[in-house]
Amino acid sequence: MTSRPVIGISTCLTDAAWGRWDSMRSVLLSERYPALIRAAGAIAVMLPPDAPEHAAAAVARLDGLVISGGEDVTPALYGESAHEKTVANAPERDLWEAALIRAALAAGTPLLGICRGMQLLNVVCGGSLVQHLPDVLGTNPDAVSHIGEVGEYGRHAVRPVAGTLLADLLPEPEVVVPTFHHQAVARLGEGLTACAHAADGTVEAVEGAGFTLGVQWHPEQGEDLRIARALVNATRLAPLGTTPTAPPAALPTA
Q: How confident is the model at residue 145 (pLDDT cuts 50, 70, 90)?
A: low
Given the candidates 3.40.50.720, 3.40.50.880, 3.30.360.10, 3.90.1150.10, the CATH classification of the domain at 6-241 is 3.40.50.880
Q: Among 33-42, 65-74, 151-160, 224-233, which is the least confidently predicted range?
A: 151-160
pLDDT digits (tens, 9 = 90+) for 120-134: 999 999 999 999 988
**Distance of alpha carbon 33 from alpha carbon 42, whole angstroms:** 12
Q: Is the pLDDT confidence value at 242 over 70?
A: no
Domain ranges of the chain: 6-241
Q: Residue 165's pLDDT is what? A: 97
Which active-site residues does the annotation give? 115, 218, 220
Q: Residue 234's pLDDT is what? A: 97
Q: Among 102-111, 176-185, 237-246, which is the least confidently predicted range?
A: 237-246
**Distance of alpha carbon 213 from alpha carbon 64, whole angstroms:** 12
The residue with greater pLDDT, 135 or 218, is 218
Average pLDDT, the chain: 90
Closest CA to 111 of 27, 211, 26: 211
Q: What pTM, to 2 d.p., does this model score?
A: 0.91
Q: Residue 231's pLDDT is what? A: 98
Closest CA to 136 of 190, 186, 197: 186
Q: What are phi and psi of 206, to 5 degrees?
A: -135, 155
